[in-house]
Structure 1
């Protein structure tokens, strides 16, 4: 199967390696189901420690959300920190935030250690707000430095509007540690390193059945099977009914990204920074200039159904123009969508289903750092090195509510939008 048309797919060129499908019977120490960043990271950590590993991917490496996202790598989780603290307490919440920072740092270490220059990492993410928030942002900056020794910078409204020529923005926090890059190139480089370390990756190899009750776990595909001591399910928003308990514990949520046509001069009239930009609204806008300022990659909007993205492209363009009226004549070139998986508590689902069976999914809309640390802690558990995966135990496999859950998720999103709009209007 080919990658869908995205900005990242274009960067691969015509010679992108396609791996063979599984045929016959394979025996390994660990079988990873899902070739996204969670599964690839787990497989990489295990292969580096000498474990015999194979990855079964239904389509292509990073075919889903891992290779289609905005490319932002920064600390944090999809759930807000205050909500996490409410669920697990202050000390536990701090440990989880430290993990999220570690995940970001691990991605950068891989980029540097594997010399993935084609991923084009660029430091700096600007978190802008659309309402007056000077006091709150400075307090948050100070809290991060005090509790985590994590330094970020406050930007005043004047400083923000020198960078972002828009009437919508007020203040911002600039994170020089965070970065943005090409996630598909990164994921494919990680996959190549797994193979260099002795691991096996099979594409076009959807798992159609599993046998989990014996000492040996078995994963079956259309033309083969894998026997393993440990099985890791890391297939995210595209997981089928392979393990019903997992399928019923998260919701697949669609998100959308557009790429504009080239117009360096027009774009420079609006965006005067190579930092990536996001706002603090729930499912708010996130965007960055690419190709040296020639184009904008702009993401946002979520739905609980996989809508054909053309309509969403018009909505994303409308949002861009409402933020930067001067970009009204900047046309859209392509639009694509991807499925994320969200748990009701909006935290990842990371843990052990039964002896030898692990899961690592539901990273929501904040997946680049969190899939990485998720894959790492699962690998550590299999290796017997740490039990850090238990930090996620309080969140569990909560039932997603199925159809009612989808309706509730969409209504919640609309409620967040209304609250965001009310807060912004108060600042006008």
Structure 2
């Protein structure tokens, strides 16, 4: 895929063309999918001395992996209480600690590799659209007590001092979280994998596999890879390659837009470089990009591909409903990407059978969880740890097929209604 003339294509620091696989090759591990999870896994395996091949159907960072909101913060798509209910309190705490480790991994990798154009900016603020300051303070106290993790509570006056909106009440600021240019991050990982001897093939979709023997075979349209291990990291773009994976996730589309350059107008509404997200399910998230000259705004989900232009109008209504002063801010470009959600809203990470691994279903919380997911899968393959087994309670449960998509959409509408009533009461 060639990226259109968007904010991301204009700001890419590396745009090399990678070859199509057109031969029969051997390696230790073949990874199917060149997004966040696949490249993190490949990087850690290459660091561990393995010969690695990455097969990417389109291009490195295609879809939601390379063009997401860029937020790097701990946690998962479901809350700690739900995780503890399924996996137990001890495992839930270990999983959350691993999500913090994922944040630190991304930060240290950027620094170690000196990845150009990633532009990490400290600070992610989570805002509430109704009045429950005590609840936020309690959450901050738990984070400090259980994980030694500092979250700074902001009251309504402090919030509205930097976010000029009457929609917002209280907030928690995470100074350890940050936001980045995700496509440049991914391309930096790809360069390091190649420097370490790994091979990345673009325009090379895997079309068939034979996983029954100790030596696994993966065919593309023009070539073949023979390996000891196969890792599936295809996320929302998982097709029919493996039925166990296909039945276990729902493809969910999300939408992002970037404004025209209007720094003075944007500054009249948003006086912080923090990434901002609200407390609603599939709520708004946004941040300043291009040195504050443009505003990236994302949100909304659909369970099927929708008309992007129509969804952008909904995003714009959210933006101007929050910030009426941005009514005149024009949208320059918009796009959508597919995420994968499991029914339990947790990543699906583990071993399908000897030599066959999966690391997928990050549900919109991917930059930290793909990092830790890729890391623990690589540890498992290298025999360094069995930490991947912490995700075992959240396996490849059937997502419900078409009925599951319908239920997911109805649930989203229900949650939207609940959010509306709660905000109206405020």
Answer yes or no: same fold by TM over 0.5: yes
Q: Which SS does the other structure have where 2:206 is aligned?
A: coil
Q: Distance in 2 between matches of 1:246 and 1:334?
A: 33
Cross-structure match for 2:339: 340
In structure 1, what is the Cα distance between the partners aligned to 2:371 and 2:166? Answer: 36
CA distance in 2, matches of 1:149, 1:155: 19
Matching residue of 1:133: 132
Q: Which residue of 1 aligns with 2:309?
A: 310
Gaps of 5+ in 1: none
Q: Take 1:276 and 1:188, find their aligned partners in 2: how far apart are those partners?
A: 22
Q: Which residue of 2 aligns with 1:111?
A: 110
Tell me the equivalent position of 1:167: 166
Structure 2 counterpart of 1:12: 12
Contact 1:270 1:327 (8 Å CA) reproduced: yes
Does the 8 Å CA contact 1:75/1:101 hold for their aligned counterparts?
A: yes
| Corresponding residue number in structure 1 for 2:48 | 49
Give 1:295's aligned residue: 294
Inter-partner Cα distance in structure 2 for 1:313 and 1:417? 17
Q: Is the 8 A contact 1:216 1:228 kept in 2?
A: yes
1:115-264 matched pairs, under 5 angstroms: 115-264=114-263
2:16 and 2:115 mapped to 1: Cα distance? Answer: 16
Counterpart for residue 424 of structure 1: 423
SS at 2:363 equivalent: coil
Report the TM-score, using the length of structure 2 for normalisation.
Answer: 0.99
Q: CA deviation at 1:6?
A: 4.0
CA separation in 1, counterparts of 2:212 and 2:58? 27
**Alpha-carbon deviation of 1:117?**
3.6
Q: CA deviation at 1:9?
A: 2.1
C-alpha deviation, 1:242, in angstroms: 0.1
Secondary structure in 2 matching 1:352:
strand
Could you tell me how far apart the structure 2 residues matched to 1:202 and 1:364 are?
A: 26
Query: Secondary structure in 2 aligned to 1:395?
Result: coil
**Where does residue 267 of structure 1 map in the other structure?**
266
CA deviation map 1:24-80 (0-9, x unaligned): 111000000000110101100010111011100001011121101000000000112
- Residue 405 of structure 2 corresponds to 406
Query: Structure 1, residues 214-251: CA drift from partner, whole Å, max 9, x if none?
Result: 11000000111000000000011011100011001001
Q: What is the CA-CA distance between 1:418 and the residue it aligns to? A: 1.0
How many corresponding residue pairs?
A: 426
CA contact 2:84–2:92 (8 Å) conserved in 1: yes
Give the whole-Å Cα distance in 2 for the aligned partners of 1:362 and 1:34.
Answer: 13
The 8 Å contact of residues 6 and 336 in structure 1, kept in 2 or not, is answered as no
- Unaligned runs of 5+ residues in structure 2 are none
4+ runs of 1 displaced by more than 2 Å? 3-7
1:344-423 equivalences in 2 (<5 Å): 344-423=343-422
Q: Is residue 259–residue 295 contact of structure 1 (8 Å, CA) maintained in 2?
A: yes
User: CA–CA distance in 1 between the matches of 2:412 and 2:85?
Assistant: 20
Give, in angstroms, the shift of residue 280 of structure 1. Answer: 1.2
- What is residue 2 of structure 2 aligned with on the other side? 2
Distance 1:64 1:304 in 2: 16
Q: 1:276 corresponds to which residue?
A: 275
Q: Which whole-Å CA distance do the structure 2 matches of 1:135 and 1:397 have between them? A: 37
Cα deviation, residue 170, structure 1? 0.2
TM-score, normalisation: structure 1: 0.98
